[in-house]
Amino acid sequence: MTFQTHTGNRGLVLEEKLIFEQGEAGRSGVDLPDPAPVKSRLGGLARDENSEIGLPGLSEPQVVRHFTRLSQKNFGIDSGFFPLGSCTMKHNPRLNEKVARLPGIADLHPMQPESTVQGALELMDQCAHWLLVLTGMPAVAMSPASGAQGELCGMMAIRAALDARGENRRRVLVPESAHGTNPATAAACGFTVDSIPATADGRVDLAAFEAKLGDDVAGIMLTNPNTCGLFERDVRKIADLVHAAGGYFYCDGANFNAIVGRVRPADLGVDAMHINLHKTFSTPHGGGGPGSGPVVLSEALAAFGPLPYTARTKDGVVHLVEEEQADDFAEEHFGGKLQSFGRMTAFHGQMGMYTRALAYMMSHGADGLKQVAEDAVLNANYMLRSLEDVLDAPFADSGPCMHEALFSDKGMAEGFSTLDIAKGLIDEGYHPMTVYFPLVVHGAMLVEPTETESKAAMDEFIGALRSVAERAKAGDEALKSAPHHAPRRRLDETQAARKPVLVWKEPELPVAAE
């Protein structure tokens, strides 16, 4: 069983060298025409003909095979169940890919005259309209490039609004269960972070929160549903209290997929909330991006949002409002006072993601989106109740969960941890759940099935996770060294960090022995 193959390959588990180890000079995967001789106008800065850039030469078939083989070392939603909590790995419809590539969308230049891009602006405007209706909010800033930049957008709008009020409030309250981006974002806006504890039932400690309010509080950054997978029952009280104290309510909308079409954040007192189009609205995660993080804003913050934005005038024309025309539009939109905090991205944001998200929203419709939230919540509760006898569920008695179920590492055999369960699941053919987040639960395991999994797929996973959990409880040593069947075993992260090798270098030729 354990013999070594000549190649190092194991059937379809193929080893693949780096392109730099395969390339040879004088080969290329493109055929370009020879440029006509012209008098160089590079101003004496032409690259030295003889100095190598260091790019390997490969033919097209080599490139196709290389990246195909790399792809086979990856796990995607298409490959299998991917219950990564908080990340919302739902099915990515291919229709969305197709429409994003339509001529007249994919080949538009961001600096084309407005008259040539009316369809694109209309598309942005429609996408914005869906987000506004689904959240019940009066304004949306489309341009943030991701959830984290959406947070930055919302918090900068809050900062700008405070500055406009002439108030020097600098403290932001952040529950300890928050995503790491929340405190990092608050810090980037010049705020200090004050952590709010959670109660034993996994929600914000209302008394502790109230005690922390004061006239130096800029606002609260609250994820709802929260990262423990629970709906914050006191969300309205929290909103009222923070407003009464003169602060704003920033809602981290990473988990909007649990309530889309069923609860409108406007009805909860939210002032700003980003929406990860790559979570709730299924634009692909792409191995780490690109994302898109439009931010809905309340009346109080709308005038402070970023430029540019789109606006439709009475003649039906949609405009891309940049700074120069902003005053013309401010009257209608912001009571005459636009006080934008500035620009966030080079152009107008992630158009390719708006296209995909709009196709997703149109496909589901208002009726389907309601079903999306309900099925996501139903699936997560099914997961919770099917596993709570074998895994510790610290908030099992805190009411129903929303779109994700949280477990802890309590009850494992000595020396066994959440990491072992995660790696054991890899051998079973699954992508592990989110591990060690949120920080408020020891050895956290956050399972988010999403609405695009069938009951059969979940039942199979439940069986696998039960089996792995039993092995961890029984102290099965084989689990400590899992995964055994993945393209790689556990990787040495300490070595990677101690002596970082971040780029490939030509190996030095061995010096001949004396």
Q: Which of residues 280-299 bind another protein (CB under 8 A)?
A: 284-292
3-state class of 245 per DSSP?
Answer: coil
Shortest spacing between CB 512 and another protein, in angstroms: 25
Beta-bridge partners for 248: 219
Shortest spacing between CB 514 and another protein, in angstroms: 29
User: Which of residues 23 and 514 has its CB atom nearest to another protein in the complex?
Assistant: 23
Shortest spacing between CB 421 and another protein, in angstroms: 12
User: Which of residues 30 and 244 has its CB atom nearest to another protein in the complex?
Assistant: 30
Shortest spacing between CB 299 and another protein, in angstroms: 19
From the list 128, 140, 173, 186, which residue makes contact with another protein (rule: CB under 8 A)? Answer: 186
From the list 339, 386, 417, 467, which residue makes contact with another protein (rule: CB under 8 A)? Answer: 386
Q: How far apart are CA 450 and CA 211, in angstroms?
A: 37
Q: Please work out the total of residues on this chain that contact another protein, with binding judged by CB under 8 A.
A: 207
Under the binding rule (CB under 8 A), the answer on residue 512 touching another protein is no
List binders of another protein among 114-143 (CB under 8 A): 115-120, 122-123, 126, 130, 133-134
User: Which of residues 6 and 512 has its CB atom nearest to another protein in the complex?
Assistant: 6
List binders of another protein among 307-366 (CB under 8 A): 322-324, 341-353, 355, 358-359, 361-366
User: Which of residues 45 and 509 has its CB atom nearest to another protein in the complex?
Assistant: 45
Q: Which helix (H) or strand (E) covers residue 221, if one does? A: strand 217-223
Strands 434-435 and 405-407: unpaired
**Which among 374, 383, 370 has a CA at the least distance from the CA of 451?**
374
Burial of 314 (0-12, 13-18, 19+ CB in 10 A): exposed
Q: Which helix (H) or strand (E) covers residue 297, if one does? A: strand 295-297
Q: How far apart are CA 434 and CA 85, in angstroms?
A: 5
Piece of the chain touching another protein by CB under 8 A; list 205-213, 244-252, 297-305, 429-437: 429-437
- Residue 325's alpha-carbon distances to 312, 314, 321, 322, 331, in angstroms, are 13, 16, 6, 6, 11
Please name the amino acid found at residue 202.
G
Q: How far apart are CA 481 and CA 483, in angstroms?
A: 6
List binders of another protein among 436-465 (CB under 8 A): 437, 451-455, 457
User: Which of residues 289 and 336 has its CB atom nearest to another protein in the complex?
Assistant: 289
The dihedral of CA 263, 394, 456, 468: what is its sign?
A: positive
Strands 139-141 and 192-196: unpaired
Piece of the chain touching another protein by CB under 8 A; list 207-215, 277-285, 329-337, 389-397: 277-285
Binding mask 389-428 for another protein (x = CB under 8 A): ----------xx---------------------xx--x--
Strands 309-312 and 318-321: antiparallel
Token pair belonging to 390: 């074998």
List binders of another protein among 37-56 (CB under 8 A): 38-48, 52-56
Strands 405-407 and 318-321: unpaired
Binding mask 212-231 for another protein (x = CB under 8 A): ------------------xx
List binders of another protein among 244-273 (CB under 8 A): 259, 261-264, 267-268
Q: How far apart are CA 258 and CA 372, in angstroms?
A: 8
Under the binding rule (CB under 8 A), the answer on residue 6 touching another protein is no
Token pair belonging to 175: 């529950």
User: Which of residues 20 and 329 has its CB atom nearest to another protein in the complex?
Assistant: 20
List binders of another protein among 479-498 (CB under 8 A): 481, 483, 486-493, 495-497
Residues 6 or more apart whose Cβ sits within 8 Å of residue 160: 304, 339, 340, 341
Neighbour count for residue 113 (Cβ, 10 Å)? 7
From the list 1, 7, 367, 514, which residue makes contact with another protein (rule: CB under 8 A)? Answer: 367
From the list 5, 9, 10, 112, which residue makes contact with another protein (rule: CB under 8 A)? Answer: 112
Report long-range pairs for 77-80 (Cβ below 8 Å, ≥24 apart): 80/429, 80/430, 80/431
Shortest spacing between CB 51 and another protein, in angstroms: 9
From the list 77, 198, 221, 275, which residue makes contact with another protein (rule: CB under 8 A)? Answer: 77
Under the binding rule (CB under 8 A), the answer on residue 26 touching another protein is yes
